Structures are given as structure tokens and as C-alpha cells.
Structure 1
Amino acid sequence: MPMTLKDIEDYDRKDMLRVEHIHWAIVHEVRDLKQWNNALTLLTSYLAPVIIASEKAVAAAAAA
């Protein structure tokens, strides 16, 4: 499981990343490594797009 921003950036199968992976990496960066800037990058570049895409999919399904 990817543990840091670097691990996620280097992860070969980005399509296989799950919210849990990103969440754990954010927690690890902040709690264990005190790397707030890396956690913010994970949040804005990886987690937010997943959440937005999921909200759009739900809205599209509701509209159909």
C-alpha cells in the first residue's frame, strides 16, 4: 500500500488507487512525518478529484 506522496506519485497503477490509500498516505504524512505540504498535495491533487468525480457520477445517475 502506498504510504507517502512519493509512493503515490511513483505508483504504477494509478487507476488502482483507492480512497483508503490516499487517506492513509495523508494521515501518515501528517501524523508520522509532519509533512503538511505533502498532505495538502495529496488532498488537492489526488483525493479531491476522486470525490468530485464521484459526486458527478451520482448526480448523473440521479438525473437519468
Structure 2
Amino acid sequence: MKKAVVNQAECVACGVCEKNCPRKAITIFHGIYAEVNEDLCVGCKRCQKVCPASVIQVVQKEVAS
């Protein structure tokens, strides 16, 4: 299962990812960094493509059993 992951230390909290996420899975917290709700993320890579700081990657995540 693929999910978006944000490098929060490098995130500039511009909000582009939040605005472009079709599932509303990304939220900007306190104007400091973006956070991904893994329950909503479907790994579409739209946020990764639009991130001007290139701090979002869509990666394979383990499924909890």
C-alpha cells in the first residue's frame, strides 16, 4: 500500500499539497509543516508532484495485520 510521507523538518508549509490532495488527506499544522492522514491517503502522488520544496514522497508502507 502506497502512502505519502512528508519530511516535516524541510516542509515550508506553503499549503500547495493540502490544496491539491483529492482526498483531503493532508493538513498544514500550525503553519509549520504538513501532515498526512494515512487513513485517507491513497498514494496518488499528486502532492509529491506539486510540492515546490520536494519534501513529499509516496512510499510503500507495510500493512498492519
TM-score w.r.t. length of structure 1: 0.29
Give the TM-score of the pair, scaled to structure 2.
0.29
- Give the number of the structure whose residues are more often strand, by fraction: 2
**Larger % of helix: which?**
1
Instruction: Name which one, 1 or 2, has greater alpha-carbon Rg.
Output: 1
Which of the pair has the greater relative contact order for Cα pairs under 8 Å at 6+ separation?
2
